[in-house]
């Protein structure tokens, strides 16, 4: 529910920005000017608004599925053994840590601020509304994919396989309907989506920046740390976190990528060429 409120907040701030279709094409003959003064993206209200609305609607549908899940009975919870878990994930069956669970929220919430912090960049700040609109679209799609899988696919969390007597979760937590949605790691996915979105936008607005490797590295480290702590907390298996990381990363990168202007070829310049008895064009590509 907290994620939904975050989506709606960004929705309120930036939805109108999509109506400002950035149809101005990048000047291919002047990539430096294009990178400095214009957005590398194009957005259209008629296209992006229905995508966002549809994704938010699917997110609501997913939450309904989560709310309607049935809890486990104690008998069913106790009948589960580590041998019921596939070999790849079995090592973490029974893990539980309230501390790791609480700590995972620190980088999780911090990641949502990354795209906003990115607006402090001079180039990005000139297109703040458009960037926030794309951020909303990214998180809405990420939320829809996660909530639908969590709402309609049953998989007990690793903590369900433990026992309180041996340091595991209490029976009430093991039987909770919230503990029946391990697939897949939504916190990891949301963190990856926000973090990699911020990195992708920075890279697109600042193609020559030497900070790009560090920005990408910070995105991976933030999402990876959330995944690690969710694993230690017994909230998700390793495969759940890997999938969540991959889906979040893909959404965070691909949403802005698919909005890039098609003729925005970094390093390419085209100039007219005229001389005695001939005319044409000279095209050069500057290697990075």
Q: List, for residues 209-224, the tens digit of each pLDDT value.
A: 999 999 999 999 999 9
Task: Please choose, from the candidates 128, 120, 144, the residue with its C-alpha nearest in 3D space to the C-alpha of residue 10.
Answer: 128
pTM of the model: 0.81
CA angle 232, 96, 149 (to 5 degrees): 75
CA distance 181 to 185: 9
CA distance 158 to 150: 15
Quote the percentage of the chain above a pLDDT of 90. 75
CA distance 194 to 117: 12
- Write down the domain spans for the chain: 2-285
Provide the 8-state DSSP code for 47.
H
The token pair at 269 is 């310049």
pLDDT band at 256 (very low <50, low <70, confident <90, very high): very high
pLDDT band at 280 (very low <50, low <70, confident <90, very high): low
Mean pLDDT calculated for residue range 228-241: 98
The token pair at 43 is 């957005």
Residues sharing a CB contact under 8 Å with residue 220, sequence separation 6 or more, in sequence order: 195, 196
pLDDT band at 38 (very low <50, low <70, confident <90, very high): confident
> What would the pLDDT profile of 117-173 be if each residue is shown by its tens digit?
999 999 999 999 999 999 999 999 999 999 999 999 999 999 999 998 788 899 999
Would you state the pLDDT for residue 272? 52
The token pair at 88 is 């790849």
Quote the percentage of the chain above a pLDDT of 70. 78
């Amino acid at each position: 529910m907290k994620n939904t409120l975050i989506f709606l907040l960004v929705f309120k701030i930036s939805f109108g920005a999509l109506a400002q279709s950035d149809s101005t094409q990048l000047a291919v003959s002047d990539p430096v000017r294009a990178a400095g003064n214009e957005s590398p993206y194009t957005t259209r209200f008629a296209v992006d608004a229905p995508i966002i609305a549809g994704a938010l609607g699917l997110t609501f549908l997913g939450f309904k599925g989560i709310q309607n899940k049935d809890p486990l009975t104690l008998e069913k919870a106790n009948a589960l053994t580590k041998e019921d878990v596939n070999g790849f994930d079995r090592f973490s069956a029974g893990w539980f840590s309230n501390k790791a669970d609480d700590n995972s929220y620190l980088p999780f919430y911090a990641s949502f601020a990354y795209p906003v912090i990115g607006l402090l960049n001079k180039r990005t700040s000139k297109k703040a509304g458009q960037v926030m609109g794309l951020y909303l679209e990214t998180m809405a799609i990420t939320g829809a994919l996660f909530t639908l899988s969590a709402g309609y696919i049953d998989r007990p969390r690793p903590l369900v396989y433990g026992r309180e007597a041996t340091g595991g979760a209490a029976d009430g937590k093991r039987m909770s309907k919230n503990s029946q949605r391990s697939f897949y790691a939504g916190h990891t996915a949301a963190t990856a989506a926000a973090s990699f979105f911020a990195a992708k936008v920075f890279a697109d607005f600042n193609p020559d920046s030497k900070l790009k490797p560090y920005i990408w590295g910070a995105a991976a480290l933030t999402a990876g740390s959330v995944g690690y702590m969710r694993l230690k907390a017994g909230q998700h298996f390793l495969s759940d976190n890997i999938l969540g990381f991959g889906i979040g990363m893909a959404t965070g990168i691909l949403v802005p990528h698919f909005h890039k202007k098609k003729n925005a070829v970094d390093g390419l310049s085209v100039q007219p060429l005229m001389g005695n008895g001939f005319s044409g064009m000279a095209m050069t590509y500057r290697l990075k």
